[in-house]
Chains A and B, each alone.
Chain A
Amino acid sequence: DSGVTQTPKHLITATGQRVTLRCSPRSGDLSVYWYQQSLDQGLQFLIQYYNGEERAKGNILERFSAQQFPDLHSELNLSSLELGDSALYFCASSSVGSRETQYFGPGTRLLVL
């Protein structure tokens, strides 16, 4: 158990819909990262937040947005969903430092029908 929690574990929705994925980092970790992993694909970095502020942005679509709240939990919002958005979405957290180790949650499996 990494200490990072993600909800829900599974999500099935239809094209055009909007969903919200939630992540709670390890206690004390200020950084939260979001990744997308499609079937048999590598991990694609989406976005990072540090103590409530956006720190880095990767290949995140404009239909996707995220935020980190004062209690440090984070939400990833996916809108106007397409079939190709079906994937595993991982959240990771880390402590302060330029070489911080990332601890990953169990992921949310999203299926868009």
Chain B
Amino acid sequence: LAKTTQPISMDSYEGQEVNITCSHNNIATNDYITWYQQFPSQGPRFIIQGYKTKVTNEVASLFIPADRKSSTLSLPRVSLSDTAVYYCLVGLDTGGFKTIFGAGTRLFVKA
């Protein structure tokens, strides 16, 4: 199972673009990269998933370089309501579907 490394926290201001990078040096060939968002006292919510290059949806973009050893979640024009913890997940345990959530990145958006 690929281990991920993310910054512990980030600060931003409303209206700015926020980029959160996740390192996953030992990502396997079949692994996908998935990002979740969690607000306090709520369950995580799926944001975006990708395998390579770039994926975009109505909420975010995910950039994955050719070597796939890292990925960047991009949140365009954040608002106060984007203050949350963001988790990067890579792959699944080959012995079973064991999901490992890291510590995540705590994003603070200021007015």
A residues near B (Cβ < 8 Å) are 2, 4, 31, 33, 35, 42-45, 48, 50, 55-58, 88, 90, 92, 98-107, 109
**Would you call the interface of chain A mostly helix, strand, loop, or mixed?**
strand
B residues touching A (Cβ–Cβ < 8 Å)? 30, 32, 34, 36, 38, 41-46, 49, 87, 92-93, 95-104
Top 10 A-B pairs, shortest CB-CB distance: A104-B43, A56-B96, A43-B101, A56-B98, A99-B32, A101-B46, A90-B43, A42-B103, A55-B96, A104-B44
| Interchain CB contact (< 8 A) of B49 among A42, A99, A104 | A99
Q: Which residues of B contact A50 (CB under 8 A)?
A: 97
A48 x B103 contact (CB < 8 A) = no
Closest to A105 in B: B43
Establish whether residues B96 and A99, one from each chain, have CB atoms under 8 Å apart when the complex forms.
no
Given the contacts A88-B41, A107-B42, A45 and B96 also touching, CB distance less than 8 Å = no
Smallest CB-CB separation from A6: which chain B residue? B43
Give the CA-CA distance A45 to B43 in the complex, in Å.
13
Given A2-B43, A107-B42, CB of A45 within 8 Å of CB of B100: yes
